[in-house]
Structure 1
Amino acid sequence: MSKKVFGDIMKQAMQMQEQLKKIQEEAGQKTVEASSGGGVVTVAANGRQEIISIRIDPSVVNANDIDMLQDLILAAVNEAMRKAKEMMAEEMKGLTMGMNIPGLPGLF
């Protein structure tokens, strides 16, 4: 491999690294929401796959049926995390030029 080709590859790798850093920084600003039980539980997550809020309608809080509330929260959290992961995978497509690089969205 010539020095020029190697230099070009290194330059591209550095550019990708800068773009990845920018995407990671912006990830915390982008959010997704998911709800369950017809909207009685709503969960918001950011692009870093962090839960940033959980809203529970007081009408669903029943001390005699905690299992139902737990199931609703779990369903909403799982859906929010799925959406956050999907959102970041879409963001990464531009960086990876559509190539599927296993584990790359998991960097967040």
Structure 2
Amino acid sequence: MKIMMGGNMQNIMRQAQKMQKQMKADQEKLEAQTFTGSAPDDMVKATFTGDHKMTDLVVNPDAIDPDDPDMLADMVLAAVNDAMTQIDTATDSTMGKYSRGLGM
């Protein structure tokens, strides 16, 4: 195993700091994005930021059936889960590049 000395270690540290800054910038950009999940037929829409905070919930009045509250609950769950899947996909795409090849 070759031991790194002096300048090589400084270069590695600079590269690590650069990567850390880029990771932070990418994370902040991701958190600033919005993701809107939808239930079937867009009866319910749930909007979240990239850091999983709900910012809006829109329910189509046609989705409100006083005799079937479970249907509305199912539509809310579907919209929320759709948005969470979008966030996870974007996070994996954006942040996953930092862990590829690191054995993580």
Maintained 8 Å contact 1:49/1:85: no
Give how far 1:61 is off: 1.0
Residue identity matched to 2:71: M
Q: Which residue of 1 aligns with 2:19?
A: 16
Say if 1:100 and 1:31 are closer, same or farther in 2 by CA, change over 3 A.
farther
Q: How does 1:1-108 map to 2 (within 5 A)?
A: 1-93=4-96, 96=98, 99=100, 102=104
Say if 1:100 and 1:84 are closer, same or farther in 2 by CA, change over 3 A.
farther
For residues 11 and 59 of structure 2, what CA distance do their matches in structure 1 show? 53
Aligned Cα RMSD in Å? 2.0
Maintained 8 Å contact 1:24/1:48: no
For residues 3 and 51 of structure 1, what CA distance do their matches in structure 2 show? 49
Structure 2: runs of 5 or more not aligned: none
Residue identity matched to 1:55: V
Structure 1: runs of 5 or more not aligned: 103-108
Which stretches of structure 1, 4 residues or longer, exceed 6 Å deviation after superposition?
none
For residues 100 and 31 of structure 2, what CA distance do their matches in structure 1 show? 24
For residues 41 and 101 of structure 2, what CA distance do their matches in structure 1 show? 35
Q: Percent identity?
A: 29
For residues 27 and 52 of structure 1, what CA distance do their matches in structure 2 show? 15
Maintained 8 Å contact 1:42/1:76: yes
TM-score, length-scaled by structure 1? 0.79
Count residues in correspondence: 100
Give how far 1:75 is off: 1.1
